[in-house]
Amino acid sequence: SCSTSQYLAHAAKCIADETNRVRSYMDLVSEGPLLKVCRTELLLNHHTTLFNNINSGCQFLLQNDRNEDLQRMYQLFHQVDCLEPMASIVERHIKSMGQLILKKREAAVREKTDKASDPTFVDALLDLHSKYAQLIKEAFGSHSSFQKAMKSAFDVIINKNVPKATLTTAEMLGAYCDRLLKTGYGDTVSDEQIESKLKDIVQLFSYLQDKDFFAEIHKNYLAKRLLNSRSKSDDLEKSMIGHLKIECGSQFTQP
């Protein structure tokens, strides 16, 4: 027996060969119906086994960053309009990766090392979001089913409270932004790099259910930066407010 990846590579070759045969020897009117039968037999009739194979299916490919194989899986099952089961597996996988980040924070809370000044938690969320946003764009053609899967996963991850933590995710995001926008944050870090990080933070913010709370936190930090002349750059401050306006409307930047 072969792995899911080997089977899909073989299926892709069979479909390509069949397409060439039809175009060489048959009337083009026959191409659609014949290829439909071919794809149904090779893909649709085996989709459950191919997606769910413990040792080589979609979950295995995700765990092992087999992006080329995931792309082939997407391309083939897109042809037979069978992407929802795959998107569900992607959603569950992202949730489980997020759960690991939350578990690490739980450990930090128990060890009393969980602080607003520690960027570890937010950096881990940013890395997770960046990784799967890139996968969905490059391997899955930004297909709406996978964008929806990612949104559903992050809706859960970002809004899940860590037991006994004194700070919410919104507060951790607010403190992270403050660190980026305050003087003294990595003098070797360019404004462009900070701007890129702010955009990423706003993406995480977009999943927050309590956006008002984050807006309040951001305003308080902004007031302190301005009061203590600790703001790194007016342009960066304006840019962050601009991002929040785009994401949530002007009410979030009113005094």
C-alpha 211/C-alpha 219 separation (Å) is 12
What's the average pLDDT block by block, 10 residues per block, for the chain (255 residues)? 94 94 83 91 97 97 98 97 98 98 97 94 98 98 98 97 94 95 80 92 94 91 94 92 80 54
pLDDT score recorded for residue 22: 87
Output the pLDDT for position 252.
Answer: 59
- Give 191's contacts (C-beta < 8 A, 6+ positions apart): 233, 235, 236
> What pLDDT does residue 255 have?
47
Asked if 159 and 168 count as a contact pair (C-beta separation under 8 A), the reply is no
Per DSSP, the three-state class of 235 is helix
Q: What is the pTM of this model?
A: 0.92
CA–CA gap between residue 232 and residue 179 (Å, rounded): 10
91 with 149: CB under 8 angstroms? yes
Tokens in use for 77?
């099952």
